[in-house]
Amino acid sequence: MEFQLNRVELRVLGALLEKDLATPEYYPLSLNALVLACNQKTNREPVLSLTEDEVTGALDSLRIKKLCFENRSSGRVVKFGHNLQSLFNLVRKETAILCVLMLRGPQTLGELRSRTGRMAEFTDLAEVEESLANLSELGLLKMLPRRPGQKESRYVQLLSGEPDPAEEPDSTAPAAPTAPSPEGDRLSALEREIKELREELIELKKMFSEFKSQFD
């Protein structure tokens, strides 16, 4: 690949992709809205606290790489968008998969299918695998070697280069045997989903307020 993104560039580009696919009414994004999107506490692993200067620097670098653009035609506020989809001729589902990998790190097939739901709909895991194969052919992602103790393979994006094995969580230690209740698992998942939805609603309200202020 002709370029390699650093951590901030990856987060900025991922945030632009997400808002384009999930909330197109707020896209392209002003600088303030983009900083909010980069620093969201939901759907981000890890959660970052980027400054406006860091995001601006990443935008400058992404423009040089032809991965983003400025839009000055929507009033007095400069807005920013991405060129990733057109640059690699990606379809919506492939773009959604890359977006999740950029914002949340390595993911399994099941995680990719569920976490792309706001941006693209996959009918089954086979359809996810087909998109993954296309992205792999383009050199945009790869399957990670399965470590001892891992039940499913995970996939990682390559826009920021080959993953560093030292940064991978250690899963070689045997896990303590547990017998979780199916009902307890479902309840925990529901509670996590409700918490994420509440936090996401707060972020959307912030973005709407920022969007509205452009016309005051």
Kindly state whether residues 107 and 72 are assigned to the same domain: no
pLDDT at 179: 46
Identify whether 185 is part of a domain: no
Integer Rg of the chain from CA = 18
Kindly state whether residues 78 and 114 are assigned to the same domain: no
Identify whether 12 is part of a domain: yes
Kindly state whether residues 97 and 80 are assigned to the same domain: no
Kindly state whether residues 165 and 98 are assigned to the same domain: yes
The number of folded domains in the chain is 2
pLDDT at 176: 40
Kindly state whether residues 22 and 83 are assigned to the same domain: yes
Q: What is the pLDDT along the chain (216 residues), one digit of tens a residue?
A: 788 999 999 999 999 999 999 999 999 999 999 999 999 999 999 999 999 999 999 999 999 999 999 998 766 789 999 999 999 999 999 999 999 999 999 999 999 999 999 999 999 999 999 999 999 999 999 999 998 888 999 999 999 999 977 655 444 444 444 444 555 555 655 665 676 666 667 666 666 665 566 555
Identify whether 201 is part of a domain: yes
**143: CATH:** 1.10.10.10
Q: 80 to each of 32, 55, 61, 73, 83, how far by Cα in Å?
A: 11, 11, 13, 11, 10
| DSSP three-state, residue 82 | strand
Q: Which domain holds residue 106?
A: 93-169
